[in-house]
Amino acid sequence: MQLQDILYSQGFGTRRVCAGLIQQGHVQVYEGNSALTPVECTQAAMEFEADGLRFRVQGEDWAYHEKAYLMLHKPAGTECSQKPSTWPSIYTLLPSPLRLRPNKASVQGVQAIGRLDQDTTGLLLLSDDGKFIHRMSSPRHHVPKVYEVTLKHALDDKQVQRLLAGVVLDDDPKPVRAAACEAVDSHHLRLTLTEGKYHQVKRMLAAVGNRVEGLHRSQIGGLTLPADLAPGQWRWLDEAALALIAG
């Protein structure tokens, strides 16, 4: 695969832009898995095996990924939208190559899998793999998501039982049930859901007579938000992490 095509596939711009980066000496390639120092490449048409390739563009190291799978620790005060209405977009937290990866869809780059409200924090997945996005988003697959909920009023056993039995939300006559519900303390609830409706956690707690004061998603499938991933930071998902998510 030509080097300019590799860079294009990773979101570094059009093929012409990628060729210019190479010709101007801004691209170096690590030759071999054990190489510690990259070698400068100035020929855009140079051929490389893409899988496993590591390279440096304008001083920053990258590795080739046919598809992008990411986790992001979403901070409060951000919107999961390419065109936010009030708050900054989560996409501004990502480097431009991830936002510009070519995509057959109308929107380029990685896409958030589901959305978290602007005041909700925690684990968010992003990808440019349409099949993966669909699988993780589809309610048929029942991917569990765990939320840490801070409550305004003290929690009681009756509220927990109602959440497990199912509550009716105003736009859907079918009861919505929690897959699991644990009272961590009087004002802290750990809630597991396998579907995602608009403002679901907040509306479920309102239906049992309580109110959400803080909301944090700590887990998707078997993947827990790493303690060392600070708000606003992102990380590639490796095969082990993907296996935890997919089950």
Identify whether 117 is a catalytic site residue.
Answer: yes
What is the Cα Rg of the chain in Å?
Answer: 22
DSSP string, 97-145: HHHH---SSSS-S-EESS---TT-EEEEEEES-HHHHHHHH-GGG---E
Hey, which residues does 84 pair with through a beta bridge?
Answer: none
Set 5, 117, 172, 238: catalytic member: 117
**Residue 144 in tokens:** 């569990």
Residue among 167, 208, 170 nearest 189 (CA): 208
Paired sense of beta strands 121-127 and 167-169, if any:
unpaired
Q: Which residues are identified as catalytic?
A: 117
